[in-house]
Amino acid sequence: MCGIVGYAGSRQAAPVLLNGLEKLEYRGYDSAGVCVHNDGGLNAVKAKGRLSVLRDRLEGGSALPGTVGIGHTRWATHGAPSDINSHPHLSWTGKIAVVHNGIIENEARLRAKMLRKGATFQSETDTEVVANMVGYYYEKHGDFVTAVRETVMRLEGSFALGILCQDMPGTIVAVKKDSPLIFGFGEGEHFVASDVPAILKYTQTVAYLEDGDMAVFDAENVVFYDSTGEIVEKKQEKITWEMSAAERGGYDHFMIKEIFEQPKALRDTISPRLRDGQVNLDGIELSAEYLKNLRKIYLVACGSAYYVSVLAKYIIEKTCRIPTEAMMASEFRYCDPVVDERNLVIFVSQSGETADTLAALREAKRRGAQTLAIVNVVGSAIAKAADQVIYTWAGPEIAVATTKAFSTQLSVVYLLAMQMAKTLGTMSTGEYLSLVEGLEQLPYDMDRLLSPKALEKCQYLASRYHAHHDAFYIGRNIDSGICLEGSLKLKEIAYLHSEAYPAGELKHGPISLIEDGTLVVALATIEPLFDKTMANIKEVKARGADVLCVTLEELEENAAAIADSTIAIPKIHPLLQPSLSIIPLQLFSYYVALYRGCDVDKPRNLAKSVTVE
């Protein structure tokens, strides 16, 4: 959600900024802009729409010469997408330019104050308020860094800011709170960006800025300050993954690439934690005494990560016999949850930056709960804020719709549940070993579902069902959790209205919406509940629905006698089954989106990292 990038060096800044912004496109945006220092002035070019519009306006960068600049992709919050509302924003004095990721919550009050001071505004954005404040304090104190400090101390909300000052041609000031910002060290050049891919082409050496940190830099030098204004050293870290991990390779879309990366991502996440037939979550301390005294485990997250949490409820309750509840972070943070030191609260997040999840984490900590985060992005805010963290090793996930992060989050849930169950003695040795074996085998089982034949089947089914207007995903028990994720995939990338319900719930309302041509995707992978789900399929078929049933290979014949079409998946340990069921559902959504002509990797209105509430 919004991306910022800043460059100071000897190259032409505009092409570097455009390249960086392109790598941040995945975060979601609706307009973009850059500002470069040249001829003693600040020159900004901005454009509503895709980066290609900005690129054309900049003639690939050559229209804006200069070696120091800032750039931005905007996801509209304050004011509609437009050239004027796009960043960078200049102060009314013309001396300050600002790019901003985040939301300034006291924007209205600050805007009124700046108007009283004589500032004028062109846009509806909260960011222009920041530009005008820095402009005002710069006039007052005559010092750029002091002006930024004076401004930042008055801001409420979240921000990662990149700021230029007309009178300091080589210098950029960057500062952050609750929005991600990394600093890149090059040879005679420095960078700031919202995420690593933006600068990886130029450097693999980075430092992660903490809340309140400020970097004041030019091509040769950088000084870091902490929130108290003290000069601090920042640890330089090497990025271990290559640029190719954040590129499409030979694939048409990031999403399909990432679907294919799932077996590897699972191996990377599981293998280091399964040694000699034992789960070993290094450094995670959950003693038997602590676990036995727990009143309840909460899992708190948003979107697909919340659906992992819903699945986790089934998995943890079954294996550990501890009451477990999944909650959406946006609800948890405001519902006055019954949470104290007798609760373990687990936060699930790919980006580690999701605003609601981060706020919920702080709320849980404030109430005295022990917190544990399952996170993909190393060093992210949620990873840092939680008491303990387990990383998913999915690698960078670029497509807005999550696939491999979802699968690795689920695999961590299995590992965690098994470790807790072993500590508590709630799982038999036989069951434990069979889960270990199943987990080791899982990447190979996934490979089978990604064979050319399997893809062809999903593509065929998508060609058959893509023109439907409404879809319902139904299933029972743990299948109903996977329905939630399958349904979300379809609606978010294919823009097809879709809902998910536990199959037994149909008769209590939603069945009234089933009519000729409604698509029903039924999950029936739980043998003891197979007949029940078949009965539900008959009910919707009787009302005109077209039914696609995902079931086990050995049950396919029975399912095919009732449903219109089937997808069969191999039978594995019942608790692990969701890890396989999701694969054809991801593929189905992907192909439906293609048939419907949708922008698969960048679905409308969505952002990859939701860093605002």
Q: Would you please indicate which residues are annotated as catalytic (active-site) residues? A: 2, 608
DSSP letters along 309-342, please?
Answer: HHHHHHHHHHHH---EEEEEHHHHTTS----STT
Measured distance CA(263)–CA(394) in Å, rounded: 10
351 binds ligand F6R (CB under 6 A): yes
Q: How far is the CB of 456 from ligand F6R (least distance, A)?
A: 24
Stretch that binds ligand F6R, among 162-170, 297-305, 471-479, 502-510 (CB under 6 A): 297-305
Neighbours of 321 (CB within 10 A): 12
Burial 174-205 (b: 16+ CB within 10 A, else e): bbbbbbbbbbbbbeebbbbbbbbbbbbebbbe
Stretch that binds ligand F6R, among 105-113, 281-289, 349-357, 563-571 (CB under 6 A): 349-357
Closer residue to ligand F6R in complex, CB, 98/582 = 582
Cβ-contact 129, 114 below 8 angstroms:
yes
Closer residue to ligand F6R in complex, CB, 255/522 = 255
349 binds ligand F6R (CB under 6 A): yes
Q: Is 36 left (phi over 0), alpha (psi -120 to 50) or beta?
A: beta
Stretch that binds ligand F6R, among 44-52, 114-122, 168-176, 298-306 (CB under 6 A): 298-306
Number of residues that bind ligand F6R (CB under 6 A): 15
Instruction: With CA atoms as reference, report the closest residue to 7 among 105, 99, 125.
Output: 99
Please give the structure tokens belonging to residue 435: 């889960």
Of the residues 14, 18, 34, 302, which one makes contact with ligand F6R according to CB under 6 A: 302
Closer residue to ligand F6R in complex, CB, 191/254 = 254
175 binds ligand F6R (CB under 6 A): no
Tell me the Cα Rg of the chain. Answer: 26
Of the residues 43, 123, 354, 581, which one makes contact with ligand F6R according to CB under 6 A: 354
350 binds ligand F6R (CB under 6 A): yes
Cβ-contact 215, 206 below 8 angstroms:
no
Please give the structure tokens belonging to residue 64: 């804006």
At 97, which amino acid appears?
A
Of the residues 58, 300, 315, 401, which one makes contact with ligand F6R according to CB under 6 A: 401
Stretch that binds ligand F6R, among 121-129, 348-356, 459-467, 469-477 (CB under 6 A): 348-356
Q: How far is the CB of 26 from ligand F6R (least distance, A)?
A: 11
Of the residues 304, 370, 477, 586, which one makes contact with ligand F6R according to CB under 6 A: 304
Please give the structure tokens belonging to residue 202: 């130029």
305 binds ligand F6R (CB under 6 A): yes
Give the bridge partners for 33, in sequence order.
46, 72
Give the bridge partners for 44, in sequence order.
35
Q: How far is the CB of 353 from ligand F6R (least distance, A)?
A: 7
Residue with smallest beta-carbon separation from ligand F6R: 303
Of the residues 357, 370, 498, 525, which one makes contact with ligand F6R according to CB under 6 A: 357
Closer residue to ligand F6R in complex, CB, 52/605 = 605
Q: How far is the CB of 494 from ligand F6R (least distance, A)?
A: 12
Burial 351-374 (b: 16+ CB within 10 A, else e): bbbbbbbbbbbebbbeeebbbbbb
Stretch that binds ligand F6R, among 253-261, 301-309, 451-459, 465-473 (CB under 6 A): 301-309
258 binds ligand F6R (CB under 6 A): no
H helices of 495-574, in order, are 530-542, 556-560
Cβ-contact 45, 31 below 8 angstroms:
no
Cβ-contact 397, 258 below 8 angstroms:
yes
Of the residues 6, 169, 303, 395, which one makes contact with ligand F6R according to CB under 6 A: 303
Q: Which residues 6+ apart lie within 8 Å of 486 measured at CB? A: 473, 500, 521, 523, 581, 582, 585, 586, 588, 589
DSSP letters along 513-524, please?
Answer: G--TT-EEEEEE
Of the residues 131, 200, 610, 612, which one makes contact with ligand F6R according to CB under 6 A: 610
Closer residue to ligand F6R in complex, CB, 67/402 = 402
Measured distance CA(322)–CA(499) in Å, rounded: 29
Q: How far is the CB of 425 from ligand F6R (least distance, A)?
A: 33
Closer residue to ligand F6R in complex, CB, 12/309 = 309
Closer residue to ligand F6R in complex, CB, 43/73 = 73
At 384, which amino acid appears?
K
Closer residue to ligand F6R in complex, CB, 191/306 = 306
Which chain residues interact with ligand F6R by CB under 6 A? 302-305, 349-351, 354, 357, 401-402, 488, 492, 609-610
